[in-house]
């Protein structure tokens, strides 16, 4: 049987779990400095990409 004190521990864990979820959500929406955003590739002046001969 759970004592009254045990419920406070469950409340603490629930609060910490919510904080972890909030941090995760914020991290997913923040821009990453680890990988730069993709840049547009330039097309040669001829209007088509050059082909490689094998």
Q: What is the pLDDT of residues 18-53, one digit of tens each?
A: 999 999 999 888 887 787 767 777 666 665 666 677
Residues 33, 36, 38, CA angle at the centre, nearest 5°? 155
**11 or 7, which is more confident:** 11
- Please report the pLDDT score of residue 24 as a whole number: 92
CB-based contact 23:29 (threshold 8 Å): no
For residue 6, name the pLDDT band (cuts at 50, 70, 90).
Answer: confident
For residues 26-47, one letter each, b for 16 or more C-beta atoms within 10 angstroms of the residue's C-beta and e for the rest, the string is: eeeeeeeeeeeeeeeeeeeeee
């Amino acid at each position: 049987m759970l004592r009254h004190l045990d419920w406070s521990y469950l409340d603490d864990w629930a609060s910490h779990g919510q904080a972890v979820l909030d941090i995760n959500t914020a991290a997913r929406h923040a821009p990453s400095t680890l990988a730069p955003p993709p840049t547009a590739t330039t097309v040669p002046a001829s209007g088509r990409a050059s082909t490689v001969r094998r």
